Structure 1
Amino acid sequence: MDVQKTEIWDTKMVPRMSQFRAFQQVLDRTHSHWDLKNSNDDHYTAEVRRHTVNDFVFTELAADPLTGNRTISDIRQSDHHYFCLLYLEAGDGVLRQGPNESKAAAGSIALWDSTRPAFFGTHSQFHQFSLLIPHEVALQSLPGIEDLCGLNVDGNEGTGALLLSHLRQLHDTIDTIDTQDRPAILRATVDLMAAAFRPSEEKIGGTAFRRALLTRVQEHIIENLGEPDLGPQNIAAAFCFSPRYLHRLFNQFDMTVSDWIKRSRLFRSRSDMETPYLDGLSITQIAMKNGFKDSSHFSRVFKQEFSMSPRAYRNQAHNLRLS
């Protein structure tokens, strides 16, 4: 189902002395929670545009210089988690996340993760476009993406140039694309992002063959999530290599095979509970459909992952559709 919502806001809508405080509140709602600071308390100029398409969020921000810290407290205030691709059409600044730091400039594309602390600062007025990609979608497309957050790619050459051109066109034309074609376009965007930000062989300690093999293994897991007995033994057997080698494929990204299967099942189950045509299925049926053998175990791990019970989450999703 194609769901769209657009919000446009400008500091001209509020009195001068309240402009920065109002901007902070709007950014919390349209992007995510940040602790923002600027050098001018008397006046602040900013324009914000936020447009949702399905589970993806397109934003445009033009503003005076500012700095922002995203802390654990800020993260806890967010209901949805994203990986954010951003590029500047004007201005420059810095982005830091984890051990990585990159200098943002016109023509570069940066990546950050909304589930971890981060810092950004701009030195002048800036004009920024962002695409917020649902967390689970990006994780499945680019294993190890967490290690790349805080980095950027050059939008003037190679795959980075293709990605930048695509993002610009996407921001300009997404509303003109037929609603039936948008999911495929957005999936292609994520694939292009994965290609542009894919880590070097030296960084992940493996070969191009190993990366391609891991992708095929993950696709096999997604296709067979409904099989209750899906696990390292039969996955390795399907690809004719040892379980030990399978674990090595996943360990280079600090995850186990079983954890990846469990998280994929949880995210698929959560998506099913948001889907109107599956409203006739009980929570237990959804759990079994996605490979969980025991409904009480499903409820426990679901709450651990999403901080609410499956029933509470389903009721919330239902109420949001009615609002």
Structure 2
Amino acid sequence: MLAIIGGSGLYSLEGLELIQEHDLETPFGKPSAPVVEGKLYGQRILFLSRHGAGHARLPHEVNYRANIFALKQLGATHVLGVSAVGSLRMELPPGALVVPKQYFDHTRGLRERSFFGNGIAAHVSTAEPVCPNLVADLQKAAQSAGVELHTGQTYGCVEGPRLGTQAESFFLRNAAACDLVGMTNVPEVFLAREAQLAYCTLCLVTDYDCWLDDPEQHVSVEKFLETYAATLQQGLKVIQALVQTPLTEPSSMAKTALAMAVMTPDEALTPEQHEWLQVLRA
């Protein structure tokens, strides 16, 4: 089942026929908002607003673990995150839609970034953090919707909530070889891998961050709002087409990520730990 995590400006899905709203408490706390289970174009999907109702949570305040755990517990097999980003490359102009292949973590340790620890040791491979099968499905959806989709780029995740300095923008662009900058996809992408979910992000480019010399091109909330609405409409066309496309099975590296990753033996786990680990392993 497909789950969609809506970012800035995407707090609900138009046309989603409500089946049930799940107000959950997970072993990792409450998700950002109740998870909406519904039907879109006859397909059962899940929807979760990353920032909560009224955009109440800043990026470092989002309970990413609870969000991913809740989606897995409710039966998700594939997760599509939707995020607004700044571009670090001229060839990715405002209005472009991008699906990153790699993620660079430039956050500052304010976020709980793993399900593991506190008595359970695991080391999950994230060398290739997105599911290529889901990316291929998204490419097909974009093609059928007549929307251009860029793939293969690197997303640099910063802590926020402030917008970055020009020095930071140049570091991400040059030293880290990032193509995009945002605030929300880490640790979301890595938690999805720990939960053995197929994951990728549909990024909506709203600005050029601040690496260009022209201050008129630098990111601001005002410029973000100017560009975002039109870009989101293109993104929704792709999502609508994806929902109507039969999903390919998650790649083996996604659905078997925990097979050899957990080092703590089952007999050393508490009943509570065993219970939530079984959800991730399912």
Q: For this structure pair, what is the TM-score category when the shorter chain's length is used for normalisation?
A: under 0.3
Highest RCO, 1 vs 2 (Cα 8 Å, sep ≥ 6): 2
Q: Which has the larger radius of gyration?
A: 1
Structure with the largest fraction of helix: 1
TM-score normalized by the length of structure 1: 0.24
The TM-score with structure 2 as length reference comes to 0.26
